[in-house]
Structures are given as C-alpha cells and as structure tokens.
Structure 1
Amino acid sequence: MELSASEVEQFVEEGFVRVDHAFPRELADAGRALLWRDTGCAPDDPTTWKQPVIRLGDYSQEPFRLAANTPRLRGVYDQLVGAGRWLPRGSLGTFPVRFPSADAPGDDGWHVDASFPGENPSDFFTYRVNVASRGRALLMLFLLSDVGEDDAPTRIRVGSHQDIARVLEPEGEAGLSFMELARKLDVSAHRPLAFATGEAGTVYLCHPFLVHAAQPHRGTRPRFMAQPPLLPSGAFELQRPDDSYSPVERAIRRALGHDSRQG
C-alpha cells in the first residue's frame, strides 16, 4: 500500500511519516528473541535489567533483512527518495535497547544523525551533514516491540528538518560536523513534539535532517528499536533540470524558499 498524497505532503512539511504494519509482527518477535540473547538479560527477570540502555551491534540475520525490505517499505522508499535512488539494506543496523530504569540513560540529547566521514573516520562525532544530505536518504525507526508513551519512544521535533536545512545551506558542500550542528539545534526548540510510539512492526520514515532525541524509560517492558539509515545510490540534487525532485529534496528546497508546491 503506497502513501497517500496527504501522507507524502506530511513528510515534506513535518519531516516524518508513520507506516503501520510495515513488517510482520512475526519478524519482530523473531528478531527480538535474537536481541534478548545478546543483551545477556532474562526477558522474564527484571532483576537482570541492570542498565538503562544496552547497545547492540549491526544485525543482518534473516528477520532483520526481511523487515527492512518488505514490498510495502520498498514502495514507500521509492515514493520518498525516488525509484533507483536508494540502496537496499542488508541489515537493520544497531539497536539501543532501553530498559525501565530510574537512572538517566546518558544519551538523550537532541541531535541530527551525521552521514559522511569527517577528519577522523573512526570518530562519529566528527562525521558531517551537509545541505544535500550526502550519504543519507532517510532516518528510519523500526519498532520491534510495542512502544507506548512511557516506553522511551524517540522524541521528534515536528518540522525541525526545515530549520536544519536553513542552518546547513551557508555551510556548502562541507556542511557541519555532528558536534558543530548539535550546538545550533536551539533553532528548532520552538517546534511541537511527537513521539515514535506504535505496535511492533511500525516504522517511522524520517527526513535526514529531523531533530530527535532519546528519553528515559518509565514503562515496564524493554523497548527494542533499530535506527538504520537508508543510503542513497547517488547524490541528492537540489537543482534538477527536469524538476524530478523527490519528497526528500522537495522538503529541503521548500525550507530554503525554492519550492512552494503542495501535494
């Protein structure tokens, strides 16, 4: 099922769209079983949940590969990024597994995910973002567990991708590093908040510039979510001779005053 015209417009204006039943719950259950094993914690023994967050590495087993590449999601990738303009994923990337805890997680600051290496490729904090979103087509949030308002849903500043496009435009091809951009995020502090809640199998497809943040877990069951990028097959273009802009490009152009089309 494709996104409606109004959902595509929501993505352009607000910076994200929620896709319910994007992958089967059975895949979420199978993937979660693999993740539980690697946490070293017992699913039914909260006394073993000793940390507010455990980060697990890149996962490419079958449940994860299939979840990232359902026919529905592939169709929506085409709608938002453009057919032939993205690369299929072979994994779901890393998982920050969040547990109910009174302790601060220590990683809940507002940020924009950086997308291409800076001066030190081994240091994520020097990775960079530029106005053409080099190296990232989408930010994606895959829910592998049911996530309610108390279950540490990712916080989203609605429409903040527009603010970030305007911050990045003067920086040209080099853009800003993760930390340089982090110091400028107050420009989006006025934006309303949304929360990435939903049933297992829900996916949030977000503009690469969307400002977002983790938060403490105040619920009762751990939250399992993947946050992989969708990679572009080539560079985004903000000046296309044929005017064939994807919604990701249109959102940037509209923020910069170059595109006022609706729908």
Structure 2
Amino acid sequence: MPLNASLTQPATAAPQGKPVGTVAVFLLADIAPRHRLWGYARFVIGRFVMRGVPGLVMSKVLGSGDGGGFGLKPSSSRQALFCLFTTEDHADSFLNSPKAQAYAQRSQEFCSAKLRAYSCKGTWSGQSIAVTTSPPVEGDGPIATLTRASIRPFSALRFWRMQPASEVSLNAASGCLMATGVGEAPFFRQATFSLWTSTAAMDAYARTGAHLAAIHAAHEGAFFSESMFARFVPCSLTGSWRGRQYGGTHG
C-alpha cells in the first residue's frame, strides 16, 4: 500500500534523530530505453557518485513501482533521487550540476523539486530533516509530503495486502496533484512522495476510509521498525511525471 501522506506520527517510539539539512532536492526520472544500463548502475554506484557533492548531508537512490505506482512489481525505468543540503545555494548548484543533469538528459520524463520542510516526525537512517520554514497559509500554493518506512519482515505480507485499495484511494483523492511510490529496497524499505493543492486537501484524504484503515492497521500491527513523515513547501517544481506537466517557483 502507499505509505500515506497523513501519517502524522512515527510508527516507532525511537527518539527523534538529529535534524540535518535545510533544503531537500527530489528528482524523478523515467530513464529512456537506450540509457537503461546507466539507470540500473545508479542503484549500484549511485551513493559513490554522490560523494563529495558540496553541502550534501544525505542522499538516497530510490527505485519505483511499475508505472511509478506502489505495487510489488518494480519499474524497469523509473527511479528517484532524494538529497538534503546544508544551504539553498548548495541545492541550486547541485540541480545545475552535471550529476543532476545526467538524469534529465537520459530520461523520457524528468521532474525536479526543491523543498523546505515545515514539519518532520520520525527518522530516516537515524536522521531527521531540519524544519526551516513556516506552514503555508491556507490556499497559498501546493504542499509536498514524503512518507517513508522500514517494514518489519514479519509484517510485510499484511502490509502489501492493503496496497490495492490504498493506491486507488490516493490516486483518486481530490486535490492530489502527484503521488508516486519509491523505495530503497523492494518489499521492506518503501516511501511515498505526493503533491497536494493545499493542506486541507491532504487532511481531507486522511479521513477517507481506505487510507484511515491502512494507517490504523500500520500502528496497531507495529508494521514499521523506523518511519518518517515530512511536509514541505515547494520552492520550485519543474518537469513532467506520468504524463503531467509541472512548473513554477513558489514562495
């Protein structure tokens, strides 16, 4: 199932990690057929390629479900890169660097987002994202969310049985501009990135049946050994994903 956008509390009692980074960069790429070997290599050497990038404090090379969705079948072409930087200048430099442009140049679809967190609960690999901006005024542009979790092996089957209803619910949700499933590893280390017209739209989705049932089951069943839920204000969002165009700079 999607790791849904309204998971407002981490699923474990682990202490909040030390906040790192002030600006996040999220890249989505649908690698063109002639560059698939390059794309596959990112999963093997991607973390080494990112070493030495100025201002980088975290990077995660992520796969995606088939078609950019949330199912068990992995995509042969879609992948993502999530990065945290110490300053916005470092984030901008990376977006304009050959490393980031290599994704764009080898993709049949590519979308990039620069984000500032206004809320973060839980951890990712023991680290939390620094909160560096205020929540948006209602109606003032879109918000983005990133929910990730490490799924306990004994809970994986129950978790994935809930996937179809939750995915349909999320994709059909009013105000959802984008929803894509990504992950560090198949089955057990999953994430959802979503974009919403407003906080109200996301909160309304949180009260829907399939989503609410999934969240209750996740908490009651202790599905996750680690989880994180972050909300962001997009500073910029450009490109296309799953046939939809995005573009613009926000406050």
Structure ID, larger Rg: 1
Same fold (TM over 0.5): no
| TM-score with structure 1 setting the length | 0.30
More strand by share: 2
